[in-house]
Amino acid sequence: MTVSAPDLAAETAETAETAAPEKAARRLPRLPLLVAGTLLVALAALALGRYTVPPNEMVRLLAGQFLPVGETWTAQEETVVLDVRLPRVLLSLLVGGALALGGAALQGVFRNPLVSPDVIGVASGASFGGVLALLLGLGSFAVVGGAFGFGLLALAVVMLIGRLNSGSPILMIVLGGTVTGAFFTALVSFAKYVADPESELPSIVFWLLGSLATATYAKALTAAVPILLGAAVVLALRWRLNVLSLGDDDATALGVPPRLTRGLLLCAVALMTAGSVAVAGLVGWVGLVVPHLARLWAGSDHRVQLPAAFLLGGAYLTVIDTLSRTVTAAEMPLGILTAVIGAPFFIALLARSRDRMWSQ
């Protein structure tokens, strides 16, 4: 048997031809484009609704808040745009961004593209907190506080379960999240069961279906603090998330402490999720669908994918929320629309991009 020395140069030269120089062209202009697109969506959402404000009036109206512009708009238009729609659009940008960014971060942390913020049980915990406040008739401030508190409680439980078996922390966190989520979902069912079917039950059901209909600036601010704080942490760790997604061994070898990094990211995602549920109820699917869209658009590198997910998530939820208040006379709950639109959309995404988005 004669084996000549491997001709390394020839083989490498072959593959050189097939390498596509697509990366540099792909990366740079995407985020600014996305920022512009998201702003456009937000402006359109401000103009649209049962009371349509002409675009030029709307732009003048917004500019008039900061610049000396002649007042050509009516007081009614000003109320609709500034007091009703603007806080709502701000909320949908924040909540959609938070859910999508949270989903994208968790998909990286768990190295699994089928993960969304629901898997760590925080959303279920937060929803129970809100339901409990509604059941006890404590008012909207308590709903927000309860959702937030129980969301973080759920995270603490999941982290504790994760410590039970130090050998496979990721598996334990996923299992812990599933168990914790199921536990709080059962508590929510119990709360519904004992709720007064005339008064409390409808408010619980509507809140759980998710809605931004009662948006105010106070709510927007309440959501903005935890969401922006969590988003800042996640976005700051965007490079480390790349390393962490290679596995704990690789991360350790590359100087990124896996437990600490993962813990920080989970806390940040829990903060964002709890903040979202507190003001908007349970809005599913955004955290699963949008990260895939972001990966398709911006690639797997979390440096670009994470900000893209935040922007896309905001735009996506703003579009859906605008649909929910314009398509039918009676407003459609958000949670229903995100699922009805999200599910087929997700399947289409899977069919299109299975090979490019992740590998097994």
Cβ 272 vs Cβ 337: under 8 Å? no
Total Cβ atoms within 10 A of residue 1: 2
CB of 275 vs other proteins, minimal distance in Å: 21
3-state secondary structure of 199: coil
CB of 85 vs other proteins, minimal distance in Å: 35
Among 4, 29, 66, 330, binds other proteins (CB under 8 A): 4
Residue 22 vs 198, nearer CB to other proteins:
22
CB of 310 vs other proteins, minimal distance in Å: 16
What are the backbone angles phi and psi of residue 285, rounded to the nearest 5°?
75, -30
Residue 160 vs 236, nearer CB to other proteins:
236
CB of 233 vs other proteins, minimal distance in Å: 9
Residue 11 vs 196, nearer CB to other proteins:
11
Long-range CB contacts (< 8 A, 24+ apart) of 85-90? Answer: 85/45, 85/46, 85/49, 86/46, 87/215, 87/216, 87/217, 87/219, 87/220, 88/212, 88/213, 88/215, 88/321, 89/42, 89/45, 89/46, 89/318, 89/321, 90/215, 90/220, 90/224
CA 224 to CA 346: how far, in whole Å? Answer: 28
**DSSP for 22-89?**
-HHHHHTTHHHHHHHHHHHHHHHHHH-SSSPPPHHHHHHHHHHTTS-----S-HHHHIIIIIIIHHHH
Q: How many residues bind other proteins (CB under 8 A)?
A: 48
Type of residue numbered 279: V
Segment interacting with other proteins, rule: CB under 8 A, options 122-130, 189-197, 202-210, 293-301: 293-301
Residues of span 108-147 touching other proteins by CB under 8 A: 108, 111-113
Segment interacting with other proteins, rule: CB under 8 A, options 34-42, 121-129, 143-151, 350-358: 350-358
Among 151, 299, 307, 314, binds other proteins (CB under 8 A): 299
> Whats the size of the chain, residue-wise?
360
**x/- map, 228-267, other proteins, by CB under 8 A:** --------xxxxx-xx-xxx-xx-xxxxx-----------
Q: Does 359 bind other proteins (CB under 8 A)?
A: yes
Instruction: Report the Cα 262 to chain-centroid distance in Å.
Output: 18
Total Cβ atoms within 10 A of residue 332: 18
3-state secondary structure of 292: helix
Residue 163 vs 356, nearer CB to other proteins:
356
Residues of span 42-81 touching other proteins by CB under 8 A: none
CB of 16 vs other proteins, minimal distance in Å: 3
Residues of span 163-192 touching other proteins by CB under 8 A: none
CB of 242 vs other proteins, minimal distance in Å: 6
Contact residues: other proteins, CB under 8 A: 2-9, 12-13, 15-16, 19-23, 108, 111-113, 236-240, 242-243, 245-247, 249-250, 252-256, 295, 299-301, 303, 356-360
